[in-house]
Structure 1
Amino acid sequence: MCLLVSDVSTDVSYLFLKGTEELILFGFPEALCIYLGKELAAIVIKQPKRSEATLFSSVWEEKSDIWIMEEGCSCFYSKMGTKLSIGLLIVLAIVLLMVRVLYVVYWCGKPFPKGASQSFSTLVVLGSGGHTAEMLSLLSVLRKDRFTPRFYIAAATDNMSLQKAHSFEDSVAEKPVVKEASSQFMKIYRSREVGQSYVTSVWTTIVAIVHALWLMIRIRPQVILCNGPGTCIPLCVIAFLFKVMGIRWSSIFYVESVARVKKLSLSGFLLYKLRIADQFFVQWPQLQKKYPRAHYVGCLM
C-alpha cells in the first residue's frame, strides 16, 4: 500500500499499523524524510519527484472539485427540500381552510341546538328606499324577549332610518330602562355613495370595511337580520369569516325586498350565490322557483 502524505500532523505510527508499505511525503524537507526512514525502517520513505508532485497536485485538485460538486448538490437538495416543505404546508393550510369552509356551509341554516341561550343578540341592518319600513314590519311580529339586545345599523348618510328605529323601539318598549338596555343605534360608512367616482370609492371602500370590522368585533351578534341594503354585505361577509375562524357563530337571515319580483337584488344575489346567508327568504313564488334554496314566505308587508 502506497500512501501520499502532505500534512505534518499525520500520525505515522497509525499509518504503519494500517499496513502501509511505502510512504510518500509531499512537500517535506529531506532531513525529516531521512529521520522518519530511520525511525520506521519497515516503511520506505521518499519524497516525490517533480512529476509525482505535479500528479499529486492534480489528484488533489480533482478531489477538491468533487467535494465542491458534492457540497453544491447537498445545498441544492437542501433548498429543494425546504421549498417542498413550505409548499406542502401551504397546500395543507389551503385544504384545512376549504374543509372548514365546507363545514361552516353545511351547518349554516341548521336550527339552534337544545340548551341554547333564551335570548340572542341581534344586529338589524336598515336601509333607505323602503328597506327600513319592511324591516320594522318584520320586527313587529318577532318576540322581543328572544331577540335582545338589538343593535340597529344604518348608513352614515341615512338620517331617517335610525329615527324610525328609535320610534319603533319607543312604541314597543314597556319600560324606559328596558328600552335603553335592549337596543342600541349605530352608523356605518358606505362603500360608495350614489354618483361617487370609482377612483375615490377605493379609499372609501377600505374605510368602510375597517369600520364594519370594528363594529362586528364590538357587537359580535348571534343573529343578523337584513333585507337588501348594500351596507349589509361587508357585515355579513365579516360574520361569515368569523364563523370560519371560530371567533363567533352568527346566523344570518336575509329577507329579499317585496319589490323584487323576478330577480334578486345585488346584495341578495351575492349572499345567495356565496352561501353566506343561513336562511334566505323571498316574498314572491317566481323567485323561489328560480332560486330553489330560498324559502317562499309570502308578502310580509
Structure 2
Amino acid sequence: MENSNNHYCLSITPSSLELLSIIGFITLILIRVLYIIHRSSQPRSASSQQKPLSTLIVLGSGGHTAEMINLLNVLQKNSFTPRYYIAAATDNMSLQKAQVLENSWLNEGGVEEVGSAKFMQIYRSREVGQSYITSVGTTLIALAHALWLMIKIRPHVILCNGPGTCIPLCAIAFIFKILGIRWSYIFYVESIARVRRLSLSALLLYKLRMADQLFVQWPQLKSKYHRAHYVGRLM
C-alpha cells in the first residue's frame, strides 16, 4: 500500500546560505547602530570623567577658529589631554592661533604637562571653487588621510564647531564605534552665527545621529531641532 503522506525535503543551497549570512550581518549592524544611538543619548557618568581624555579639536578658518578658542578657554584643560589640533592643509593660520593659545596656557600655568598639545593638518575634501568631478578624487584622498589620523590619534573626545573637515573624521569615529574599535564622544557646538538653521556640517551630524551631543546657541534652533541642546550664548 502506497504511503499517502507527502514528505518534503527542505534543501538549502549555497546561495541561500549566503543570503541568510548577509541578512544576519545587516541585522547585527542595525542592532549595533541602534545601541550606539541609545548610548550616545545617555548622560555621561561621573566615573568616566576621572581620568584625562585625549581630545581631538577640529579647527576651521576665520570665525570657526575664533569661536573654538573662546570655547577652549572655559574648558578644564588638564581634563582634556593630550589635545590634538587638526586644521585643513591649506589653513596655517588656525594652527598658529592654537599654538599661541597653548603657549599662553603654559606661561600662565594653566596646563600641567609641557607638550600635551599636538598640531596636525588634514587634506580638504573640496577646495572653494573646485569642480565636483575632480572633488571625487580629493574626497577619497581626504577620507584615507582622515582614517590614518583617527587610527593614530584614537581620541576619547572630538570637539568641532562647523568646518567641513570635521565630517570625515566624525564619520570614521562613528564607524569605529560600530566596529568596537574606539568609542569617541563627538561634541558639536554650532556657531553663534547660525540663528534659524543648522550649518551643513551640523545638519549631517544631526540627521545621521553621529554627534553624541549637538549644542546650539539660539532657542530658535532648539525649537526646530529637538535633539539639540540649547546652552545660550557661549561667546
Q: Does the alignment reach a TM-score above 0.5? A: yes
- Residues 185, 212 of structure 2: 8 Å contact kept: yes
For 2:28, which of 80, 83, 96 is the aligned residue? 96
Cα deviation, residue 99, structure 1: 0.3
Q: Could you report, residue by residue, the CA deviation over 1:52-106 in whole angstroms, capped at 9, with x for unpaired residues?
A: xxxxxxxxxxxxxxxxxxxxxx9xx97x621111111110111011000100110
Report the 3-state secondary structure (helix = DSSP H, G, I; strand = E; otherwise coil) of the residue aligned with 2:79.
coil
- Mapped partners of 1:126, 1:233: distance in 2: 12
For 1:271, which of 200, 205, 215 is the aligned residue? 205
Q: Normalized against structure 1, the TM-score is what?
A: 0.72
For 2:15, which of 83, 87, 103 is the aligned residue? 83
- Mapped partners of 2:223, 2:112: distance in 1: 46
| Cross-structure match for 1:210 | 144
Q: Could you report, residue by residue, the CA deviation over 1:120-153 in whole angstroms, capped at 9, with x for unpaired residues?
A: 0000000013000000100000001111110000
Q: Could you report, residue by residue, the CA deviation over 1:183-241 in whole angstroms, capped at 9, with x for unpaired residues?
A: 00000000000001111111100000000000000000000000000000000000010
- Mapped partners of 1:115, 1:268: distance in 2: 29
Give the AA of the match of 2:105: V
Higher relative contact order (CA 8 A, sep 6+): 2
- Mapped partners of 1:97, 1:175: distance in 2: 43
Q: How many residues align?
A: 224
- Residues 77, 110 of structure 2: 8 Å contact kept: no
Residue identity over aligned pairs, in percent, reads 64
For 2:135, which of 193, 201, 222 is the aligned residue? 201
For 1:282, which of 201, 205, 216 is the aligned residue? 216
For 1:179, which of 101, 114, 122 is the aligned residue? 114
Task: Note if 1:118 corresponds to 2:16.
Answer: no
Superposition pairs of residues 28-107 of structure 1, within 5 angstroms: 81-107=13-39
Report the 3-state secondary structure (helix = DSSP H, G, I; strand = E; otherwise coil) of the residue aligned with 2:133.
helix
Cα deviation, residue 109, structure 1: 3.6
For 2:101, which of 153, 168, 172 is the aligned residue? 168
- Mapped partners of 1:206, 1:296: distance in 2: 35
Superposition pairs of residues 133-172 of structure 1, within 5 angstroms: 133-172=66-105
- Mapped partners of 1:112, 1:269: distance in 2: 23
- Mapped partners of 1:300, 1:119: distance in 2: 23
Q: Could you report, residue by residue, the CA deviation over 1:143-173 in whole angstroms, capped at 9, with x for unpaired residues?
A: 0111111000000001110000000001112
Q: Could you report, residue by residue, the CA deviation over 1:20-66 in whole angstroms, capped at 9, with x for unpaired residues?
A: xxxxxxxxxxxxxxxxxxxxxxxxxxxxxxxxxxxxxxxxxxxxxxx
Report the 3-state secondary structure (helix = DSSP H, G, I; strand = E; otherwise coil) of the residue aligned with 1:160.
helix
- Mapped partners of 1:125, 1:205: distance in 2: 17
Give the AA of the match of 2:32: R
- Mapped partners of 1:208, 1:118: distance in 2: 32
Q: Normalized against structure 2, the TM-score is what?
A: 0.91
Give the AA of the match of 2:124: R
Gaps of at least 5 residues in structure 1 are 1-73
Task: Note if 1:261 corresponds to 2:178.
Answer: no
- Residues 252, 278 of structure 1: 8 Å contact kept: yes
